[in-house]
């Protein structure tokens, strides 16, 4: 077995509990997917804060774990076959933890593929489009005189919310009665869009009644409430 100390990232973020999953993250919409999933499963883990203001994500230590310099990333000291596993990409982390625990993915094969389908939909569509809208509405892009880029992402975000709203009609969660990784991936981004980005009015969020209903149920979950604040910014 490879000792945890063999991973260069542990030099910058030493493990106090090397037997636990090591999470390197920040409470952003992508980052909290991992912490929420870990809270939901009850797996022991140790969170480490990756500070963007000091460019931790571009440090050699972080890049040794994720060459794409994005959070979250993790090391599971007890990975497949008892061998440590390093993993990045929030969707991959969600799916790995679901398979490790046998939780938050359906047991039925067809439903598993459909859950993966909605996870990919979030990763490839909803997350990137909401993120671009955030840039053009809240961050540097808001000062651009030409509003056509912003309006393009407003329209696409509204379209994606419509897709989600339709899917949720008559369902408790994206996959129906069962709460899954598809929900854990999707609703931190919805929350961020209308909260931190302040883009609710822009996308006419009030018309998406089903999305609001399920978002309320999502944030009411105790594990979600905890995971949204992990790692603590300090």
Which of 55, 87, 103 is the endpoint of a domain? 103
C-alpha 46: how far from chain center: 17
Q: What is the pLDDT of residues 25-59, one digit of tens each?
A: 999 999 999 999 999 999 999 999 999 999 999 99
**What is the greatest pairwise CA distance in the chain?**
57
The Cα 180–Cα 25 span in angstroms is 21
Whether residue 15 is found in the same domain as residue 95? yes
Angle at 10 between CA 31 and CA 35, to 5 degrees: 20
Residue 2: predicted pLDDT: 65
Quick check: bond before 64 cis, omega within 30? no
Last residue of a domain, one of 52, 87, 103: 103
Domain of 33: which CATH number?
3.40.30.10
Q: In this prediction, what percent of the chain has a pLDDT beyond 70?
A: 99
203 falls within a domain: yes
Q: Contact 26/1 with Cβ under 8 angstroms?
A: no
In a domain, residue 23? The reply is yes
Residues 35 and 127 in one domain: no
**Residue 175 pLDDT:** 98
**What average pLDDT score do residues 160-172 get?**
98
Q: Does residue 157 lie in a domain region?
A: yes
- In this structure, the answer to whether residues 9 and 76 fall within a common structural domain is yes
73 and 113 fall within a common domain: no
Write out the residue range of the structural domain in which residue 50 sits.
Answer: 4-103
pTM above 0.85, yes or no: yes
**Strand, coil or helix: what is 43?**
coil
Q: What is the pLDDT of residues 37-46, one digit of tens each?
A: 999 999 999 9
Give the ranges where 82-140 is alpha helix by DSSP (H): 90-101, 109-121, 127-137
The tally of domains found in the chain comes to 2
Q: Is residue 94 part of a domain?
A: yes
Q: What is the pLDDT of residue 1?
A: 53
Query: Once rounded to an integer, what is the mean pLDDT over residues 136-151?
Result: 91
pLDDT (0 to 100) of residue 140? 84
CB crowding 184-213: b at 16 or more within 10 Å, else e: bbbbbbbbbbbeebebeebbebeebebbbe
The predicted structure's pLDDT at residue 142: 87
Tell me if 113 is assigned to some domain: yes
Among 103, 133, 155, give the residue marking a domain's end.
Answer: 103
pLDDT of residue 123: 98
* pLDDT tens for each residue of 175-211: 999 999 999 999 999 999 999 999 999 999 999 999 9
* CATH value at residue 215: 1.20.1050.10
Residues 119 and 42 both lie in one domain: no
DSSP 105: S
Helix (H) or strand (E) holding 76: strand 73-76
């Amino acid at each position: 077995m490879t000792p945890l100390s063999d991973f260069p990232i542990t030099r910058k973020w030493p493990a106090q509990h090397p037997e636990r999953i090591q999470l390197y993250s920040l409470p952003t919409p992508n980052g909290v997917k991992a912490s929420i999933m870990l809270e939901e499963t009850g797996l022991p883990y140790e969170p480490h804060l990756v500070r963007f203001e000091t460019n931790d994500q571009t440090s050699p230590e972080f890049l040794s774990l994720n060459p794409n310099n994005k959070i979250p990333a993790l090391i599971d000291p007890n990975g497949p076959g008892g061998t440590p596993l390093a993993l990045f990409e929030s969707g991959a982390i969600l799916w790995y933890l679901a398979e490790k625990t046998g939780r938050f993915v359906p047991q039925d094969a067809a439903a598993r593929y459909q859950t993966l389908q909605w996870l990919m939909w979030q990763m490839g569509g909803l997350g990137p489009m909401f993120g671009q809208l955030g840039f053009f509405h809240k961050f540097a892009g808001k000062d651009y005189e030409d509003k056509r880029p912003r309006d393009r992402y407003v329209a696409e975000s509204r379209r994606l919310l419509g897709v989600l709203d339709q899917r949720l009609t008559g369902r408790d969660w994206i996959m129906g009665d069962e709460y899954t990784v598809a929900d854990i991936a999707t609703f931190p981004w919805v929350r961020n869009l209308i909260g931190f980005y302040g883009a609710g009015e822009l996308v006419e969020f009030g018309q998406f009644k089903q999305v609001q209903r399920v978002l309320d149920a999502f944030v009411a979950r105790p594990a979600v409430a905890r995971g949204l604040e992990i790692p603590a910014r300090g």
